[in-house]
Structure 1
Amino acid sequence: MVLHAARRVALFLLVWAAAGRAAASRDEYDGPLLNGNFEDTPDRSQMDGLKVLGPDAIPYWKTTGFVEYVERGAKQGDMALTVPEGAHAVRLGIQSSIEQQLSVTPGRHYAITFSAARTCTQADERLNVSILPDGVAAGELPIQTIYSHNGWDSYAWAFKAKHGLVTLVIHHADDKVEDPACGPIVDNISIKTLNPPHITHDNFLRNGGFEEGPYINPGSESWGVLLPPTNEDPISPLPGWSIMSYSKAVKYISSEHSRVPHANGTRAVELVAGLEAALVQEVDIIPGRSYKLEFTVGDAANGCVAPMSVMVATAHGSQSVTHNSTGTGGCTRGRVDFTAEVNHTRVVFYSSGYHTTSDGTGTLCGPVIDDVSLVFVHPHARRLFR
């Protein structure tokens, strides 16, 4: 009896420990992954200097390849390594990865947010994000351009779950440098369940106020979260919208630390890549009907001082709207009227210029888009909705 009781206790502890290694089963996520900021430290017996020795050394994570556990103040030669938040992060050497198991709901959309900093200026550092066994891969996230002045940026990437239990993998794909430790630092990994909005009687565009989007880590509020181009992430972390670009991104910002034009909203999009990235949504329309497209162009109160012009394009032409920014958070309302000639159109926004903040740091900035709506200019538009 004692032996059987001991076995039952041992089995319970084993199951309990295994459950602790995976995220809790729930439909709604909105925050950091377990040990997503890496402040729960590995045992020193599992370390050789900065190098992580065992695949399970970092609590709640599994590592593969040459992975280092970096503390704030650590150096690579004479260069101090950047830790985006807190005191610790991980550094992914060549062909290395970190992974964590997640419990999700099949068919639902999720956004992953994480921060990354480059450490090897001569290396072609490339981060891939994937979900297994779904086979959902992001390709290569564009981390070559640094958008902020502090040496790191936050990125978002989204997926649609096919299975209830999946594994998030962040992989450093570069293998062309001799130093096996050379690679990006990763920190602040979070997840949010996305609830894609639908069109309404008042707006043919989905998520026109940009309120539905990825989790923004508190430590990155001042800089926002970069949204990758659609060719890198076919499931957009900004529901309803796609980012069209070869390698650049747009920035998702919060009213907690940036100025958002819409008075009743808390989120907006800053076009920080000039002509190289566009915000796009496809929408169904009815030929012969008249439409009104309205939107707000402003600045994030981040010292982006310049006349900032936004090009707005549909299948029926394009128009430029200029906001004369003083860098303190003003805004300008724009409007485009057209009569539909086809049954669908793309609504496209992009900045017609390149801008940096006036503080001399070289931080990329640009016009902020918010409160976008497309409606009939017709008294009986509501009849089209059921």
Structure 2
Amino acid sequence: MVLNGALFLLFCAAARAAAASGGDGPLLNGNFEHKPNRCQMNGTRVMRAHAIPYWTVTGFVEYIESGTMQGDMVLAVPEGKHAVRLGIESSVQHELRVTRGKYYSITFSAARTCAQDEKVNVSIVPGDPPGELPIQTVYTSSGWDSYSWAFQATQDVVSFVIHHGDDQVDDPACGPIIDAVAIRTLNDDPPQDASSSNMLKNGDFEEGPYITPGSPWGVLVPPMDEDDVSPLPGWMIMSDTKVVKYIDSEHFRVPHGSRAVELVAGLEVALVQEVDTVPGSSCRLEFSVGDAANGCVASPMRLQVATTGGSKSVDYSSTGTGGYARDALDFTAEGTRTRVVFYSAGYHTTSDGTGTLCGPVVDDVSLVCVPQPHARRLLR
């Protein structure tokens, strides 16, 4: 009976592991709270490839405990008591059980520990070439940010890799702290309301990356090439190094539903979507603009809205306590493809003096185009 009980417990543990590796939520030991054996470490450095449960490490990787000092600086651990730090030419790797052909978003937290321009490379093996995520700018006062990155699975078992390759410094330990790694299955073609003629995909932003419950800082969506898989299905983030912030109604005020996007990087980043249109069509782009109730006070807070057929500035007077307004842009489609663009015309920080970056919230976006009679004739 004891043996059977032990086998049953092992079976349950394996079932939980399989479910956790294939479902939405934190990866197995995604917060690094399951420690490596001390005999597999030299101080804080991890010396064996499989020392950290469920992870494979290469290069100079450290296992960091909350309160660890680097000179006069206390190293920030985003979640719980433990995290890893990636030194020069190092990586951490986690095996994922996924479904071939489906889309997924990975969320993880990163904190800088060095002065140089920090960035990490994220990739799926096998899969497309690595994507580079700039983490030099800290958007919150906590000392770390949560980032998202997306991919389409080419196999049923793949490996997710976070790599730090900066060799421009002398200290081999210098590099970012990584923590709180999670996954979410994306619906790359979110269903639309049957009564809606909205031409935009995911205009309400309800489909997006995993947000860790209880994390009050949202998730950053980094810049991407036009052929990259987006953590925000339907939308592209156009910038050199800056991001937009994906927020939820649990911690922020959002105009509609439970998710929205906050434009936190001013003129340096744009939220973009392209759709097929009939040249000469009469189009109306409607949207909500507001603030996230995070102390982002600005009068006015200016949102720039542009399409390939027209543009406008929308001024929203924000008291930082939440609220929104509806607005619209009417234009004539000029070609067979129309690009919709949102960006903040100003740079803002919260009024609490922490330097947390903030900006206008965009939500509930719809585009409706009606071909005019002469446009219909041209199509015949």
- Give the TM-score normalised by structure 2: 0.90
Alignment equivalent of 1:372, drawn from 356, 360, 365: 365
Alignment equivalent of 1:210, drawn from 205, 208, 213: 205
Residue 104 of structure 1: CA displacement? 1.1
Matched-pair contact (CA < 8 Å) for 1:112–1:158:
yes
Instruction: Report the equivalent of 1:9.
Output: none
Alignment equivalent of 2:146, drawn from 150, 154, 157: 154
CA distance in 1, matches of 2:271, 2:17: 33
Matched-pair contact (CA < 8 Å) for 2:281–2:372:
no
Residue 233 of structure 1: CA displacement? 8.1
SS in 2 for 1:24: helix
Alignment equivalent of 2:45, drawn from 48, 51, 55: 51
Write the letter of the residue equivalent to 2:260: A
Matched-pair contact (CA < 8 Å) for 1:230–1:236:
yes
SS in 2 for 1:54: coil
CA distance in 2, matches of 1:20, 1:130: 26
Matched, 1:352 2:349: no
- CA change 1:167–1:261 in 2 (3 A) is same
Alignment equivalent of 2:162, drawn from 167, 170, 173: 170
Number of corresponding residues: 361
CA distance in 2, matches of 1:180, 1:153: 23
Moved over 6 A (4+): 25-28
Residue ranges of structure 2 left out of the alignment (5+ in a row): 1-6, 374-380
- CA change 1:57–1:232 in 2 (3 A) is farther
Alignment equivalent of 1:240, drawn from 234, 241, 244: 234
Q: Deviations over 1:307-332 (max 9, x none)?
A: 11111101111101111000000111
- Give the TM-score normalised by structure 1: 0.89
SS in 2 for 1:218: coil
Alignment equivalent of 1:327, drawn from 320, 325, 332: 320
Instruction: Report the equivalent of 1:284.
Output: 276
CA distance in 2, matches of 1:366, 1:82: 25
- CA change 1:51–1:198 in 2 (3 A) is closer
- CA change 1:43–1:142 in 2 (3 A) is same
Aligned positions of 1:27-38 closer than 5 A: 29-38=23-32
SS in 2 for 1:162: coil
SS in 1 for 2:39: helix
CA distance in 2, matches of 1:328, 1:51: 45
- CA change 1:25–1:219 in 2 (3 A) is closer
Q: Deviations over 1:350-370 (max 9, x none)?
A: 000000011111110000000
Alignment equivalent of 1:131, drawn from 118, 124, 129: 124
Instruction: Report the equivalent of 1:274.
Output: 266
CA-atom RMSD in angstroms: 2.4
Instruction: Report the equivalent of 2:3.
Output: none
Residue 157 of structure 1: CA displacement? 0.2
Residue ranges of structure 1 left out of the alignment (5+ in a row): 1-12, 381-386
Matched, 1:75 2:69: yes
Matched, 1:343 2:336: yes
Residue 258 of structure 1: CA displacement? 0.5
Residue 136 of structure 1: CA displacement? 3.9
Residue 78 of structure 1: CA displacement? 1.6
CA distance in 1, matches of 2:70, 2:81: 17
- CA change 1:100–1:40 in 2 (3 A) is same
Instruction: Report the equivalent of 2:83.
Output: 89
CA distance in 2, matches of 1:229, 1:212: 18
